[in-house]
């Protein structure tokens, strides 16, 4: 008994069924188009987001200035400022939970 002789026939029947399904699906399309409108507020938001993305995350001028001061040894931070920042950080953590 030869099994392979029937495979092309079955394959052909299977493939013809796919074409029928595609034809049925395309016949049901009505040709209507969806319309999308974007509000002025959304357009303004999009413009603002685009502008924000163009702003660099790092201000190079400030970073370069601080790097020069550190390298030259002229960058000084007061001990009081450091202590104040540490205490403020601790208090903020306690009040936030």
Q: Is residue 88 part of a domain?
A: yes
| Rounded CA separation 14/18 (Å) | 7
Q: Is residue 41 part of a domain?
A: no
Asked whether the beta carbons of 73 and 82 are under 8 A apart, the reply is no
In total, how many domains does the chain have? 1
Render pLDDT for 46-65 as a digit per residue (tens, 0 to 9).
Answer: 999 999 998 888 888 999 99
Q: Is residue 71 part of a domain?
A: yes
Q: Is residue 91 part of a domain?
A: yes
Residue 77 vs residues 66, 84, 85: alpha-carbon distances, Å:
12, 12, 12
Q: Is residue 24 part of a domain?
A: no
Render pLDDT for 4-63 as a digit per residue (tens, 0 to 9).
Answer: 565 566 666 666 656 555 545 555 566 788 888 989 999 999 999 999 998 888 888 999
Q: Is residue 75 part of a domain?
A: yes
User: Which residues constitute the domain of residue 80?
Assistant: 57-97
pTM: predicted TM-score of the whole model, two decimal places = 0.33
Q: Is residue 64 part of a domain?
A: yes
Tell how far CA 49 is from the center of its chain. 12
| Rounded CA separation 15/22 (Å) | 11
In 3D space, the residue among 84, 83, 63, 66 whose CA is nearest the CA of residue 75 turns out to be 66
Q: Is residue 65 part of a domain?
A: yes
């Amino acid at each position: 008994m030869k099994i392979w002789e029937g495979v092309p026939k079955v394959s052909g029947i299977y493939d013809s069924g796919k074409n029928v399904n595609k034809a049925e699906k395309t016949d049901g399309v009505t040709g209507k188009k969806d319309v999308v409108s974007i509000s002025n507020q959304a357009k303004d938001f999009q413009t603002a987001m685009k502008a924000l993305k163009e702003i660099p995350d790092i201000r190079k001028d400030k970073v370069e200035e601080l790097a020069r001061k550190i390298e030259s040894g002229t960058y000084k931070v007061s001990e009081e400022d450091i202590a104040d920042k540490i205490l403020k950080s601790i208090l903020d953590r306690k009040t936030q939970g």
